[in-house]
Every structure is written in structure tokens, then in C-alpha cells.
Structure 1
Amino acid sequence: MLKTTKLALPLLFLWFFLCCSEQKPGAENNSATPYTLKIPSNLGAMPIPEHNPLSKEGVALGKMLFHDPRLSANHQISCASCHQPSLAFSDGLALSHAGQSQQRLTRHVPQLTNVGWNKSFFWDGGAKNLESMVFGPLTHPDEMGQNLTSLISQLQQDELYLRLFAQAFGTDSIQAAYLARSLAQYMRTLLSANSPYDQYIRGEKHAALSKEALLGMALFEKKCASCHTFGKGENDYFTDFSFHNIGLDTVYSEDEERVFMGRYRITYDSMHIGAFKTPTLRNVAVTPPYMHDGRFATLEEVLEHYSSGVKLSYSLDTRLRAGENLGIALEEDEKKALISFLNTLTDTSFISQTTP
């Protein structure tokens, strides 16, 4: 979660757990039902941490928590408030001010598409896994602003949550670690790989891409895939999970605890100044605005940046320097073809998810 949104499990589904389980809070429970991810063939196996295997009970609990505004200090903001399914679990704003303090945030809300494969989280990679990542937005005063001790105490008074945590983790005591694990389990189920591109690349019946989109895919492979990697049928993540300075600025402010300095904030490596995480381009057409600060409103603006707006700095990625030339050479018809291809990465089944 790197900002927030709202959803809830149907009562019938919740009461199914309540009525069918003989376990009481406090009883040892080793009977959580394994949850099997149905991973499309053009995505590799997802790494699942040994200490947090997916279970049906854990995923359902995580989904309920994800959409529960009680996770915020004012009980008005859920994870889903800023990670909305129709926007591929992003919020459509450059810099949100929907948090507890109503102060404008310093970074753009990223989408939560296929995050189970991510090797780090936040724009600077400040969290190494989903379980630790969730505490950032939960406790940040400008996001959900929660005091974890207070939150756990509140949840502990809820008999429904007591029962669900017991079913998922075999515990009679709700703990912050279990809350984080359940949220992480749910987010690992947010799989997107059923776009027109995916259907075409898997050779599914009636799947086809336009001539312009196919040209765009060839251009993308040549000019963009070194960072937004894809395998045309294998490991199609559209990100290298790494960090790059793409020439957005020449000077990177040290204000706000160096959040504008990118990966440097974590590593203190001068070559990481201004380097931000490569986002996945899956569902990119429905997740504007773009960049870590949401400065570009359209894909056309993004391509114009790469074509003519790249700025030179010490840590600029070498792939954007060719002698005295900066950026990526793109003709107008090539830009149109690239955007046509990027539109084929929209997974309508993923973004049309609603609360069951």
C-alpha cells in the first residue's frame, strides 16, 4: 500500500467463517486453507515468504482490512481510498491530500499491479517486502496516521476480527505482524495478465493486435524494454524492478528528508541521486498521471519527455546519453505506435474488480 482505498467482504462470506469454524480465539489453529494463486503462463512463479504462506482465510482477512477505514486514525481512510480497483489500485491524482492531515503528499500513489514480484517498495525502495511496507502508510501522519498500539487495541475489541485472525493465524491475540501479513497476502492476489497483449502473446483464440500496436511493440522492445522489461510470453512484468535517473531534473532537493533525491535517500550512493523505481507499465493507460511526482498528465507528455525533455545531471542513466544527445529518438508516428501498444496492456478484468 503506498496510499489508500475502501471495500468490504460480504457478510455471508464472513459469517461462513464464523459458523463453520470450531476454533475459538486462543485455540491453536493449523487448519488454515492453502490459497492457490492462478498465475498466468507468461508470469513466473511468485516468491512467497516462508513465514507468510497464502491461505484463503488470510487473503479474505487482508481484503477486509484493506477496505476498512478503521485502519486510519480518523476512521475515514482505508487502503482502498487511494488504491482504487478501477484505476489499477492507484488514485488518479498527482499528489494526494486525502490523508489524515489533509496535507499534500510528496509522492504519487503507485498502482498495486503484480506487487508480489516486487523486490522493493516505495519510489526509493525503502521497504524490502510487502509485510514491512504496509506500516509506512498506516503510520505516516500525512497518510493513515495510525498509532499501531491504538489500532490493535481497537481491533481486539471486535469479536469478528478476533475470530478471523484466529482462523487465519491460530492466535487469540491480534498483533501488528499478523495484520501486516494478511494485508500482504491479499495484495499478492492482485494479479493482472489478461490484457489484449497477454491474450495475443499467449495465442488465445480471436486475440489480435492492430498493425499500429504491433509496430509499437517492436519499437518498445528496441527503445524501452531495457528498463521496462518483458519477455513476450515469459516474465512479462514490464519493469526491471530497479531504479533509474531518467533526467527529470538537474537539481534534486534535500528537503522533506530527501524524498526528492530518489534511491540516494536509502543508499547514499551518488549515482542514485534522482533515481526512482521503474514502475510496471501494465494498465498504464488507466493510471495517469505519471512519474514519482505525477508531473506528466498523459502518455504523450511522457514520451515527449523521453524524446526532447531529458535533462543532464551527474547520475543520469547512461541509456539516456548517446554522446551529446540525450533521451530516446522518437518520431511522431513512433510515439503514436508506442501509445497504441501501451493501450494493449490494459487488463479490463483486473480494473473492473468490485466487492463481491
Structure 2
Amino acid sequence: MKALLKRLSFIILAFIILSCSNSNESDYQSIPTEEFPNVNATFGTKLDLANLYNYANQTIPNYITKNNSGSNLITDKGATLGRVLFYDKNLSSNNTISCASCHQQSNAFSDSNDVSNGVNGTTDRHSMRLVNNRFALESKFFWDKRAASLEIQTTQPIQNHIEMGFSGTNGDQNFTALISKLNGISYYKELFKFAYGSEEITQSKIQLALAQFVKSIQSFDSKYDIGRAQVVTDNQPFPNFTQQENSGKNLFITPPVFDSTGNRTSGGLGCAGCHKAPEFDIDPNSRNNGIIGTVSGTGIDISITRVPSLRDLVKQDGTLNGNMMHTAVITSLQAAIGHYGTINIAPGNTNLDPRLTPNGFGQQLHLTATEVNAVIAFLKTLSGSNVYVDPKWSTPFPN
């Protein structure tokens, strides 16, 4: 009898815990949609506030351990507001550009153009992919890491004269004018009240919501992930990989061995020195990778030290999600590998990563065609499919 009572107590306790863990979701379901007539009229069934998408509790593989979310944790309500803001062209001065104009879901939230179109011209740099940005040690954003957090980053394009035009300079209105503009849009009053309990619109609230939406964009359904879930470490052969893909993985992970003049004599390519598996994010201590571009009015651009995760460099069919690097000068995976195969120390590049200059010389990997093809095959395994089609990351606007 005691054993039976003990078992029943465990069942009751489990039921209570399960009920509590689902309490937030049930609260969302109970919201009367008639309280949001302007949201319903504008978005129809594409934005159902009574049945929110799951942003806050998405499945994350247990081998993913990095997280730079900070205190602004993802909520379903906040990310839903962020989704609307991300796709709304009203956030630009002439109603023609949204965040999604330069970060397109069909391209892993990058741009197929080398540089992006803004309200007053084109950007200086290629639009960075936004996939898995929170699963990283690096917490700074933009190619040159000038934003200390994703929250700060989200509104800088809005306040840029070229990009979205609320800069307060060059004849632009300032961010206060944007807030006034959003206050005049009826669905925003409802959405801010829905997310924050108040109709008040502030820059801080916009930053929090946009950052939550961007943080929610994740990709863990690749061939790599299927294989990684079956092994203990990345050093083991993946059961679902071809021999070529496993060879490419080993070359990616294994450091090269150099002679006194920077020539590889054995080992792999050492890509994981800056892009460590399984997140494939950038090492925060990385410096310039040898790609030098120009920025209008500032001369050569050697400040670039941040890059997106290597996940979803290409779609599953192997086509690029836009050209690579901040200059978009690299147009294929083969060219990307080739760049690191022969590093030339360009005059004026005082910020070149020392890992690319063994013994003071630009590294010479002396890659064979077999090695290049193997690494390309491995990089393609890092691409998923859901990120391109999941409706929770798509536009909420009907047209």
C-alpha cells in the first residue's frame, strides 16, 4: 500500500509540474481576439494572437552549449511583435525598406545582392546571415563589432541615412519621428499592449522585440546535426556521412602543421580554430581574415573581425545564400577555401589574424583537389531546410 501511495504521489506531482510548465502557453490561447480588431483587420490569419508560434521553447540539441541571449530572453509575445517590426516597411523613412529587405528568409536571412538597397543608396557591406546568431560566444554585432549587443544593433540600420533613413542627419527625421509614426499606426498600439501591457512605444521596446525575433531564428535540422546526435564528439566518424564528408570534417577540425616558412607539411586545414564545431560561430578573438575592402570615406577596411555562423552558407541544393565575406567578393565555397589556402599579407593590413601567418608568413596550405572537394562536401552538410520555410519567421503581412 505504501508503495502504491508513493507511486500515486509521483504521478500527481508530475501532473502539477506539467500543468505549470504549460501555463504560459494556455494564457496565450485564452486571449480574446476581438480585443485586437486592427491586428485582425491588417494581418488576418497570418498573425493569430490567440495561437502564437513557439519562439521561446524551440528544441535545441544538447550538444549546443553557447548562448549569448543575455537578459533579453525570447518570449512568444515579444518575438511576435518583433516579427511584425522586422517585416514592416513603415520602419523606413519612405516606406520602401524593412529589415527583411536586406535579410531575406529565402537566403538564410541574408541578401542575394552583393550590397543592399537602402532608402538613400546602397550599403557599404554585404548583409550578414542571421541564422543561429545567439548560439555564439561573440556577443557583439555588425562586421566590425561596433554594436555591443544585438539589441543595440537592431535599431542602428533604422537610424542610418543610407539604409532606413531615420538618422536625424542629412535632412532625415530622427528616431522620435519614427515613434510618432508608429503611434499613428493602429495595429502597433494593440501589439505593444499585447507584448508589454502598455500601448507606449519606445526605442528600448522596439530593440527588445526585434532582438527576440532575430534570436529565435535557428537551424539545427542539417545532415550534420543528424550525424552529431549519434556520436559523442565531432572527432568520431558520423554514421550518416559519406567517406568524403567525414574526410572533409576531419580536415576542417584538424590543425595544420607548418614549416618555418608557413608551408603546410601535414595535418588538416584548421578551420575550427576560428569556427569551432558544433556551433560553427566565430571565435571572439579572431581578427581580420585577409579580405580587405573599402568603406566610403574611410579608405581600406581592415576592421572586420565578426562573421556569421558557417551554418547555411548554402541551401540544401548547394546554391549560395548570397556571396560571402563583407565585400561579397567570394562567390563559391571553392573560392572561400582557396582564399585560406594562400594568404597574402597585404600592405596596410595591420589587423590580420596571427593564426593565418604561421612563423610570420602567410599560410600556404597546398591543398589538393581531393581535400578541397571533401571540405566543400562537409560544409554542405551544415545546411538545414526548415529555416527557409518555417512560417513563424515569414512575413506576417498578407501581401
TM-score range, shorter chain: 0.7 to 0.9
TM-score by length of 2: 0.72
Query: In 1, Cα distance between the equivalents of 2:298 and 2:195?
Result: 38
Match of 2:372 in 1: 335
> In structure 1, what residue type is equivalent to 2:141?
F
Pick the structure with greater CA Rg.
Answer: 2
Match of 2:272 in 1: 225
Uncovered stretches (5+) of structure 2, i.e. residues with no partner: 1-41, 167-173, 232-237, 255-269, 315-319
The percentage of counterpart residues that share the same residue type is: 30
Query: In 2, Cα distance between the equivalents of 1:304 and 1:293?
Result: 16
Alignment of 1:1-356 (within 5 A): 10-12=43-45, 14=47, 16=49, 35-44=56-65, 46-50=67-71, 52-96=72-116, 98-101=117-120, 103-117=121-135, 118-146=138-166, 147-203=174-230, 208-222=240-254, 223-231=270-278, 236-249=279-292, 256-257=297-298, 260-262=301-303, 275-285=304-314, 286-312=320-346, 313-323=349-359, 325-329=361-365, 330-354=367-391, 355=394
Return closer, same or farther for 1:210/1:254 CA change in 2, 3 Å cut-off.
Answer: closer
* RMSD of aligned Cα (Å): 2.6
Runs of 4 or more, structure 1, over 6 Å off, are: none
> In structure 2, what residue type is equivalent to 1:12?
T
Equivalent residue pairs, number: 312
TM-score by length of 1: 0.80
2:124–2:295 CA contact under 8 A, matched in 1:
no
Return closer, same or farther for 1:62/1:255 CA change in 2, 3 Å cut-off.
Answer: closer
Query: In 1, Cα distance between the equivalents of 2:300 and 2:119?
Result: 20
Q: Which has the higher contact order (CA 8 A, sep 6+)?
A: 1
Uncovered stretches (5+) of structure 1, i.e. residues with no partner: 1-8, 21-32, 263-274
Task: Deviation per CA, 1:154-183: give whole Å up to 9, x if none.
Answer: 211222211110121122311111111111
Task: Deviation per CA, 1:186-213: give whole Å up to 9, x if none.
Answer: 1111011111001111129x97111111
> In structure 2, what residue type is equivalent to 1:11?
G
Deviation at 1:120, TM superposition (A): 0.6
2:302–2:350 CA contact under 8 A, matched in 1:
no
Deviation at 1:71, TM superposition (A): 0.8
Deviation at 1:48, TM superposition (A): 3.2
Query: In 1, Cα distance between the equivalents of 2:288 and 2:199?
Result: 47
> In structure 2, what residue type is equivalent to 1:35?
A
Shifted more, 345-354 versus 107-116: the winner is 345-354
Query: In 2, Cα distance between the equivalents of 1:323 and 1:193?
Result: 38
Deviation at 1:79, TM superposition (A): 0.8
1:197 alignment partner, SS class? helix
Return closer, same or farther for 1:34/1:318 CA change in 2, 3 Å cut-off.
Answer: closer
1:326 alignment partner, SS class? coil
Query: In 1, Cα distance between the equivalents of 2:177 and 2:374?
Result: 52
